[in-house]
């Protein structure tokens, strides 16, 4: 028997899952616990979460945090490139066979 849930219900369920993650030790436990509280299957909630992630329906707080993390990630990648090239430069100066 198939039960149809409204779009609003699914959005609230995904939002509740996102808010409840800190109360559980793993993502799976959060999925199971929230799904049980809502009376839906954990697999359904997992699918709804995947659909919400794919459609980019993150809330304003999540999207600002995502932008911040992407910016930090880009800065760290640039720093890593600089350190790698500096390491290669100094290694070549110390190794007489590379001259």
Tens digits of per-residue pLDDT, 53-64? 877 655 666 778
Element (H, E) at 87: helix 60-94
CA torsion, ordered 25, 23, 42, 8, to nearest 10 deg: -150
Decide if pLDDT at 73 tops 80. Answer: yes
What pLDDT, on a 0 to 100 scale, did the predictor assign at position 44?
93
Distance CA 90, CA 82 (A): 12
Decide if pLDDT at 32 tops 90. Answer: yes
pLDDT-derived band of residue 39, with 50, 70 and 90 as boundaries?
very high
pTM score: 0.54
């Amino acid at each position: 028997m198939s039960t149809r849930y409204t779009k609003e219900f699914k959005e609230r369920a995904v939002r509740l899952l996102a808010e409840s993650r800190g109360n559980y030790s793993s993502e799976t436990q959060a999925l199971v616990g929230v799904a049980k509280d809502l009376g839906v299957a954990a697999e359904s909630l997992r699918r709804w979460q995947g659909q919400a992630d794919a459609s980019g329906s993150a809330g304003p707080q999540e999207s600002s945090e995502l932008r911040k993390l992407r910016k930090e990630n880009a800065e760290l990648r640039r720093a890593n490139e600089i350190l790698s090239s500096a390491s290669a430069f100094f290694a070549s100066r110390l190794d007489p066979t590379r001259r």
